[in-house]
Amino acid sequence: MIAAQHDLQAYWLPFSGNRQFKDSPRIIVSAEGCYYRDSNGRKIFDAMSGLWCCGFGHNRPEIAEAVNRQLLELDYAPAFQFAHPLVIDLANRVKEITPAGLEHVFFTNSGSESVETALKMARAYWRKKRQPDKARLIGRVKGYHGANFGGTSVGGIEPNRLPYGELMPADHLPHTLLPENAFSHGIPERGIELADALEELISQHGAARIAAVIVEPFSGSAGVIVPPQGYLQRLREICTEHDILLIFDEVISGFGRTGASFGADFFGVLPDIMCLAKGLTNGAIPMGAVVASETIYETFMDDDAPAYMIEFPHGYTYSGHPVACAAGLAAMNIFEQEKLADRARELAPHFEELIHGLNGAKHVTDIRNIGLAGAVQIEPISDEPARRPFEIALACWEKGLYVRWAGDTVCMSPLFISEKQQLDEAFNILSDCIGKVA
Ligand SMILES: Cc1ncc(COP(=O)(O)O)c(C=O)c1O
């Protein structure tokens, strides 16, 4: 059953070609394991973990039961000035799972809110330290940090910025997509010196005016751009040397996607602040979190004002929502008990072999991968740069495979519980569809 044409009109889809969608709707009605089912009853292999968020498997009964129980126990508790047991438990779980040194967890409802929270936290931190001029924020070209104003400002995907005119002031490091690294397996070798662009921004503005640098450990939305060997370490060194906060936006890379628990673990680099969402509840209930270092938290708490006064005037009605916490705790149980980061790591070499097996296919100009994330870059048609990936992904959908098209790439981020044979079948379809596109 597909909704009738007029039924669709009320719905304005986010980040979508609404007109094309309404001409040819793709309606997902149910999910199980690694599969979706559409309104025509077709079974579709989910090679994107939803939108990078459902890596532990769709419709996990443990999460559904926890959510159901919680809705009957405590549907909502005020987030400001009160707490409930689950939010305290989940804060402790997240602190335990994230790298040592990240100690205090502030809850949000999405990746975008996590980014806004981290940016405001960084600025307020320097003000608390009586350095109000340390306010500039630095992102990276091709970075994606959500859809809100701060995140769009530090974000570096031009089509996401252009429609909105003047954004918040922000600088951008160069992206790390070098032609000489094309078809690298995993971490590319060349380009560590790109991190030195931060030194140039420091000489331009002065470290005393820069609050924080925010990067994704690997750029996800721009098409899985993996930083070169040593690059993140170098950024860390420069930030430490100049007393600039380093924020890792781990909304995609968090909770196993790289094959380690977090990008910070994978690359062996500790940020001062980490942004999380997606995998935190396995996508089942909207939730995000920001995890901050002891120093940052203590700076906020070290306040001469009376103890009942608010230290960080920021938060959301639904921060740490009891139902989201129930989903989060159940998801964290699954993540740890089933050792899903290990599972992703074990499957990653097979995924790497398959995705690089597309080297030489028609129109393919680059292939990139890390853990269970990969992108195939497709040569753009000059006046319609995004058309081929769109046509490839639609052809895949017709054949029972869901991949994501974004810019000039086709992306894949399969569920961690995928079987090798399922990936084999998915890549057969993708290869076929790439081969047939004009
Ligand atoms: C790195 C990164 N940050 C932030 C976001 C925004 O998350 P959300 O869509 O939950 O607001 C995303 C979403 O894909 C992301 O990939």
Same-domain status, 344 and 332: no
In the predicted model, what is the mean pLDDT of residues 295-307? Answer: 96
* Structural domain that includes position 423: 5-56+340-436
Is residue 1 over pLDDT 70? no
CATH code where residue 321 lies: 3.40.640.10
Pocket of ligand 1 from Cβ distances under 6 Å:
110-112, 115, 144-146, 216, 220-221, 249, 251-252, 277
Same-domain status, 214 and 228: yes
Q: pLDDT tens across 394-414, in order? A: 999 999 999 999 889 999 999
Same-domain status, 300 and 216: yes
- CA 64–ligand 1 middle distance (angstroms): 23
Same-domain status, 189 and 261: yes
Q: How far is CA 267 from CA 6, 20, 262, 278, 303, in A?
A: 50, 40, 9, 20, 35
Q: pLDDT tens across 136-193, in order? A: 999 999 999 999 999 999 999 999 999 999 999 999 999 999 999 999 999 999 999 9
Same-domain status, 319 and 203: yes
Q: pLDDT tens across 28-52, in order? A: 999 999 999 999 999 999 999 999 9
Same-domain status, 331 and 357: no
Is residue 3 over pLDDT 60? no
At residue 377, the pLDDT reads 97
Same-domain status, 134 and 147: yes
Whether pTM exceeds 0.85: yes
At residue 382, the pLDDT reads 85
Q: pLDDT tens across 186-213, in order? A: 999 999 999 999 999 999 999 999 999 9
Taking the CA of residue 53 as reference, the ligand 1 atom at the shortest distance is 14
> Are the C-beta atoms of residues 239 and 248 closer than 8 Å to each other?
no
Same-domain status, 149 and 244: yes
At residue 5, the pLDDT reads 58
Same-domain status, 87 and 52: no
- CA 221–ligand 1 middle distance (angstroms): 8
Is residue 2 over pLDDT 70? no
Mean pLDDT estimate for the chain: 97
- CA 130–ligand 1 middle distance (angstroms): 31
CATH code where residue 426 lies: 3.90.1150.10
Same-domain status, 224 and 356: no
Q: pLDDT tens across 234-283, in order? A: 999 999 999 999 999 999 999 999 999 999 999 999 999 999 999 999 99
**Structural domains in the chain (count):** 2
Which burial class, exposed, middle or buried, applies to 241 when counting CB atoms under 10 A from its CB (0-12, 13-18, 19+)?
exposed
Cβ neighbours of residue 166 closer than 8 Å, sequence gap 6 or more? none
Same-domain status, 332 and 426: no
Q: pLDDT tens across 101-111, in order? A: 999 999 999 99
Same-domain status, 331 and 346: no
Taking the CA of residue 286 as reference, the ligand 1 atom at the shortest distance is 10
